[in-house]
Structure 1
Amino acid sequence: MRMQPRQEILDIWRALVRWSWQKDQWVWGGRFDSNSIGDAEQLLCLLLPASKVHVFGLDDPDRTGIDSLDALEEFGGTMEIPRRIIAVLQDYYVRYTDESTAGEETAATPIFAGGSYFNEAMDGSEPTEEQRQLDIVDSYAMAITLSLAVVGFARVFRSKTRRQAIRDQIDDVERRASARLTAAMVGLLRSFSVNVFDADSEYGRNLVRTVNQEGLPSREVVDGLRIELRQTMASFREVLIGSGQVTDLDSQNQLFECGWSWGIVEDAPNIEVAPTEAIGVQRKGIAEQAPYLYFTVIALDAIEDLFSERTRVLGLLNEEQQRLSRALQLRSDLTRSYWATVATYGEGTRWPLEDIPWRTTDGLDSDYFTLQVTSLAVKGLVQDRSSNDELVRIGNVLSELANRARMTRRPNRNDPALTLHHPGVQLSLVGSERAGDSEITWIVNEFAPLLLQRTANIAGLLSDAADRGALLETADRVWEHLLQRRLQRGPGRNLWDDPSGAFTELEGRVPPQNAPSWLISERVVAALVATATVLDRRPLTSPALGEHADALLSEAEQLFDRELMRGTGKSLESDIKSIRANLRRAREIISDRPGTAAHLALSVLGLLNDLSAGRQKSTGVN
């Protein structure tokens, strides 16, 4: 790849520290005022690579890389960096804990408010203060990812320091992170939604129209969907805690969709947790009982972190958190299965997913929704052990989306596709009017970094080297687009986002940007981490290359044995150890790296050929 994730992450770390660490203090906020989500994204720009890519680890001072120390030199030295990270984390958890709820029977309550990320209503009215304090799924998801990174960081760093004061600080951070993790898991359980509707309703007609790629009668499509989703419908009976219980899917005229709403759904029951889990007050829900693609995807990404290898190996979840994670996993499995079925429904030559743009059940359509559905479809297909060809089809959709979003094609004058990048897609948060005068909105404009991340993820799942290479080429082109959108001036330079840097058509429409958007910057970091993970895997091989390498190695081994039978002589004696080592190494790696094995075999064959030619010359044999 032309993109170099390691160097790019180091450059982002330099920019992050330049903006955030001023006069020996951590500065919160960027383009938006400080809030629970943006501040978590700011921290994840540092901790996401440190927790998910081994070479960027910061929790063990003895193993911190020289390049990482150089990038973070303004933040301190080998021992200062982890200490200061702990202090900043402690400040974050204190800032987003409501101590007023603490009493004899209740604990302090973690704060998951959207704050300055909430956008004005469709009528132009600003959110009320009560609306800005509403919990939102985005904050729950970020809390899970951040807290898992923090708990793991704290446990490793604790074993590397002997100072009791620092150990006490680490213990406090881990306790607060664990409490916030539990509260976030409870919040996600109470935000899960199943929207059941009649096939003849507007929702039903929109769903049937989206999946019906063969022009079949509507009744046939409804019956077919219910057959394909029968296991999913049956599994809803296992949803016992939180929201999402369904009892009215028995009618043959009922369809549904499932996922996560924007916040705690209306009438969501409280969840009983162990007395040891200090999560404070469970707030009343007001969000509509309907899933949103954006919040569903971000919730599923966070739930995957609960079951990652790192979480399992380090034992980051306590017993109660493991119970809650199993309940979340059930909802995750149901959601992935549902969306994979809907996105790939039918026996025709075109999937509903390939009919761009995706139309939601409430009648909205956007390329952004297609991008979100690709993510959901991949999660479901991987769960069902999909074929390489199915993943290639989704990769082709991503390449088409890159074209349609004008990241790999030149835009037209006043091109409507540019609204994906600025101002973005505006989502109405139905139910938020109960806390104010009007229904407020949520802006999503991370199309480009999200496309890069999804492209890298799918490339890592492909089993064919040529297919993977083609998709990584798309990723390179999207990255070149993102490079043009980095901030160019001020302490926030080399962070994101200035879309006018890539689209001159937006000049004058986008205000001059000097402060970073932590939302976009964190998504770019997540995409780079995903790409680094793909590049760190063992290379793909083809059967033909393996057979070729095996044939070369067999010939080299046979010729070497024959030379030994004839007597080594002084000409071969000095090379015997080297040849044996090369042949042994080639045989060890031939299944994983047949190209390298072939190279080693060819080097041995070349040496043996020189020896044979020299013998023939000395004996006069032609």
Structure 2
Amino acid sequence: MRIEPRRHLLDIWAAVARHHAIGEEPVGLGTEHPDSLTDAERLLCLLYPATEVPTFRLDQPDLTERDVLAALAPLGDRRAVPAHLITELSRFLHTHTADDGTPSFTAGSCLHADPGCGAEPTDRQRALDVVGSCARSVTLCLAALGFLKVLRETSSPSEPGVRIDVLMEATSARLTAAMIGLLRSFTVDVVDPESARARRLLVLFGPNKAADHEVLREFHRRSRPLRDVIVQSLALGIQVDELMHRDTLFECGWTWGVVRDAPRITGEKDVPFPGQRDGIAAPPPHPYFTLVALDAVQGLFSERTLTLGLLDPVQQRFAEALRLRCELAERYWSLAARFSDRRRPREDIPWRIPGQGPESEHHSLSVAGIVVHDLLRRRAVHRHDVPRTVTVLERLADRARITSRAVRHGPALALHDPGVTLPLTGSERSGPLLGWRTDDFSAQLLRRTLALAARVEDSAARDRLLSLAEQTYAHLWERWRNRGGAVSLREGRTADHPDVPGTDRLPLWLLTSDLTDGLVAAASLYRQPVLTSPRLEEPARDLLTEATGLWERLHVDMTVDGKTGQQLSRIRDRLDHARALIDERPGTALALAIDVLRELDVLRELDTHTRPSDPPC
């Protein structure tokens, strides 16, 4: 199945517009337990493409394209659509504000208590700030701030500019709070080398049965630069004193929520920022939540964020602190994933996370996603490590039955429906042990595949990635359609067995947002410069040199007035066009040169047969 970003985004927007026009309340409105994550995804289905894909922009109503307006027709005309988004954003910010007036970052639909305990999550647990919600709020707030800023600059004097200013202030405050939540959820967890968890880590790092002391010594050697950076540079909401002891193991990254005993972030005169609630999350990081945070933080440094100046000075300070944490997390998990030079741990599927539930292909995908982030940050996409990363992604797709035939009721289907439940260690301090249910395996695979394809320089690896992306997208699109996404955005049938009725009946905002993110990534990939082969430049230049020589000879020998002169003039223009393309698109230049040579040969033959023969002596 071909990925067609424009057509499929319009299909999704049409379904979203129908749902909005019905007047159904967002998940968090009118319920006892608000869910800011799902409500953020609901808004991002419209705002993210509108701010990331130029042809889908809604912040300049006079420039909105006709097919976009047709898809959003249930919301009104070109002026009514931005007004609707303003109303929805205002309701979102009002709904997800705690009693103390500060933003809340809940995710009730993803939190589940163990059915065996016979208890439901407590009210305190449902009100916990979680990394997934903080991360998506960062993405939403950046999209909303960019949308509102451009809309304010292009709106007419009769439109509510004051309301936009107030909304931008509230959105910026939520962005600050979300960044603080991410800062306080980052953890550097020191592991006693004599503990059972340390032994499990050493087994993970050394899948080739190396002795524990040898693996530990190698870990100390490889992690020394990373340890030094953490000790010397890390601040804002974390304690790293124990890392001074160089005989310790450690992990770093993001856990599921604010870490237990995490220090509060302070501003001027060491006054803490408001709304920093006590954390209960256990310190060990998890690759899934680390990957979620990495995806969100990269938006803080996007070209659009920097061009529009969306961050204030405090947010810029937080952004730099988050960028440092991202680099540390990428370096740590890349070190873990590629610890062995022979059979690397990431290739030993499924990945095992000591003390955090059973092994799973989903964990392997999360680690592979962090490795992709690290490759892109270091611009190492041309090195030998890329083919091995592509192979890991292909193996994961096969094991998840994305690129191979699914077996009914097979264990691989559980990756997609009902998904993988990640234990939220530490949540038992305020009720039953909670789990985070995620069914975004195919969405995560699609995002990593497209991100790597956008930067890879090897044409063979890029072809493999694009083929994998198309198969993964087809799987994700069919899941969305089978669940009723194209009709009502309500849960109708299960992911991989359309004949089995669904029971949840919640709006499909998480899956719809995943699909939207993938289409936006595909649109970004397709807008990039075409990948070309430098090997084509030399033959293209040779053909153009030959074509130019033939043209010059014919221009001298033939009568250049009338139709023949016009034809030669057009050929000369095409030669100039081909020569201008030779550096950027050598294949196109070569094809044009061949066409010109063919046309010149026809003219030469015609001139030979029509030229009068010389008179006899």
- TM-score, structure 2 normalization: 0.93
Question: Is the aligned partner of 1:353 residue 2:351?
Answer: no
CA displacement at 1:424 relative to structure 2: 1.4
Match of 1:19 in 2: 19
1:253-402 equivalences under 5 Å are 253-273=247-267, 280-348=274-342, 350-362=343-355, 364-386=358-380, 387-402=382-397
Query: What corresponds to 2:581 in structure 1?
Result: 589
Following superposition, the deviation at residue 59 of structure 1 comes to 0.7
Amino acid at match of 1:427: L
Counterpart-to-counterpart distance in 2, 1:541 and 1:577 = 29
Task: Report the CA distance shift for 1:573/1:164 in structure 2 as closer, same or farther (over 3 A).
Answer: same
Q: Which amino acid aligns with 2:314?
A: E
1:79 is aligned to 2:79:
yes
Residue range with higher mean Cα deviation, 214-223 or 491-500: 491-500
Partner of 1:553: 544
For residues 490 and 515 of structure 2, the distance between their equivalents in structure 1, rounded to whole angstroms, comes to 8
Q: Supply the AA of the counterpart residue of 2:523.
A: A
Any conservation in 2 of the 1:117–1:442 contact (CA below 8 Å)?
yes
Q: How does 1:90-489 map to 2 (within 5 A)?
A: 90-98=90-98, 100-101=99-100, 108-121=101-114, 123-163=117-157, 166-273=160-267, 280-348=274-342, 350-362=343-355, 364-386=358-380, 387-436=382-431, 438-487=432-481
Contact 1:158 1:167 in 2 (8 A): yes
Decide whether the 8 Å contact of 2:534 with 2:586 is kept in 1. Answer: no
Quick check: 1:609 aligned with 2:601?
yes
- On the 8 A contact 2:187/2:253 being kept in 1, the answer is yes
* Deviation of 1:148 (Å): 0.4
- SS of residue matched to 1:59: coil
Equivalent residue, structure 2, for 1:104: none
2:416–2:495 contact (8 Å) kept in structure 1: no
SS at match of 2:384: helix
The code of the aligned residue for 1:574 comes to: Q
Report SS of the residue matched to 1:519: helix
Q: Any idea what SS the aligned residue of 2:180 has? A: helix
| 1:600 aligns to 2:598 (yes or no) | no
Match of 2:26 among 25, 28, 34: 28
Q: Secondary structure at the match of 2:74?
A: helix
- Contact kept in structure 2, 1:496 and 1:516, CA below 8 Å: yes
Instruction: Give the Å deviation of 1:338.
Output: 0.8
**Counterpart amino acid of residue 64 in structure 1:** T
Task: Write the letter of the residue equivalent to 2:80.
Answer: E
The whole-number CA distance in structure 2 between the counterparts of 1:512 and 1:551 is: 66
State the 1:14 CA deviation: 0.5
Which segment is superposed worse, 564-573 or 350-359? Answer: 564-573
Query: How far is the alpha carbon of 1:312 from its aligned partner?
Result: 0.8
Q: Which runs of 5+ in 2 are unaligned?
A: none
Q: Please report the RMSD computed on the Cα atoms of aligned residues, expressed in angstroms.
A: 2.5
The 3-state SS of whatever aligns with 1:361 is coil
- Which residue type is aligned with residue 500 of structure 1? T
Map of 1:105 onto structure 2: none
- Partner Cα separation in structure 2 for residue 172 and residue 26 of structure 1: 25
Q: Distance in 2 between matches of 1:493 and 1:362?
A: 42
* Number of the residue aligned with 1:542: 533
- CA–CA separation in structure 1 for the residues paired with 2:360 and 2:37: 25
The question of whether the paired residues in 2 share the 8 Å contact of 1:16 and 1:495 is answered with yes
- The alpha-carbon deviation at position 239 of structure 1 amounts to 4.3
Query: Which amino acid is 1:351 matched to?
Result: R
Q: Which residue of 1 aligns with 2:502?
A: 511
2:110–2:436 contact (8 Å) kept in structure 1: yes
- For 1:491 and 1:193, how far apart are their aligned partners in 2? 38
Q: Deviations over 1:446-497 (max 9, x none)?
A: 1111111111112112212232122211121122222322245878627586
Tell me if the contact between 1:49 and 1:529 (Cα under 8 Å) persists in the aligned partners.
Answer: yes
Following TM superposition, by how much is the alpha carbon of 1:544 offset from its aligned partner in structure 2, in angstroms? Answer: 2.4
Equivalent position amino acid for 1:519 in 2 = L
Decide whether aligned partners of structure 1 residues 4 and 53 sit closer, same or farther in structure 2, where only a CA change above 3 A counts: same
Counterpart residue type for residue 121 of structure 1 = D
CA distance in 2, matches of 1:182, 1:483: 34
Please list every run of at least 4 consecutive aligned residues from structure 1 whose deviation after the TM superposition is greater than 6 angstroms: 30-33, 489-492, 496-499
Q: 2:141–2:172: 8 Å Cα contact kept in structure 1? A: yes
Asked whether the 8 Å contact 2:483–2:494 carries over to 1, the reply is no
SS in 2 for 1:110: coil
The separation in 2 between residues aligned to 1:540 and 1:499, in whole angstroms, is 40
Cα offsets for 1:587-621 (capped at 9, x unmatched): 22222212221222222222211221112112378
Please tell me whether residue 573 in structure 1 is matched to residue 565 in structure 2.
yes
Distance 1:88 1:192 in 2: 31
Helix, strand or coil at the partner of 1:588: helix
TM-score by length of 1: 0.92
> Where does residue 38 of structure 2 map in the other structure?
38
2:231–2:244 Cα contact (<8 Å) kept: no
Residue pair 2:480, 2:512 contacting (<8 A) in 1 also: no
- CA contact 1:179–1:279 (8 Å) conserved in 2: no
Q: Secondary structure at the match of 1:225?
A: helix
Cα distance, 1:216 vs. partner? 2.2
Deviation at 1:222, TM superposition (A): 1.3
Decide whether the 8 Å contact of 2:11 with 2:486 is kept in 1: no
Q: For 2:25, give the aligned amino acid.
A: V
Change in Cα spacing, 1:163 to 1:141, as seen in structure 2 (3 Å) is same
Check the 8 A contact 1:486/1:497 in 2, yes or no.
no
- Give the secondary-structure state (helix, strand or coil) at the position aligned to 2:241: coil
2-structure distance, mates of 1:554, 1:168: 63
Deviation of 1:579 after TM superposition, in Å, equals 2.3
CA distance in 2, matches of 1:579, 1:83: 53
Cα drift, residue 210 of structure 1: 1.7
* AA of the residue aligned to 2:285: P
> Which secondary structure state, in structure 2, belongs to the residue aligned with residue 375 of structure 1?
helix
Residue 5 (structure 2) pairs with residue 10 (structure 1): no
Residue identity opposite 1:419 in structure 2: A
Question: Cα distance, 1:21 vs. partner?
Answer: 2.1
Residue type of the partner of 2:419? Answer: G
Deviation, structure 1 residue 313: 1.0
SS at match of 2:49: helix
Contact 1:487–1:497 (8 Å) recurs in 2: no
The 3-state SS of whatever aligns with 1:193 is strand
- Please, which of 585, 602, 610 is the counterpart of residue 618 of structure 1? 610
CA distance in 2, matches of 1:124, 1:406: 33
CA distance in 1: counterparts of 2:572 and 2:268, whole angstroms: 62
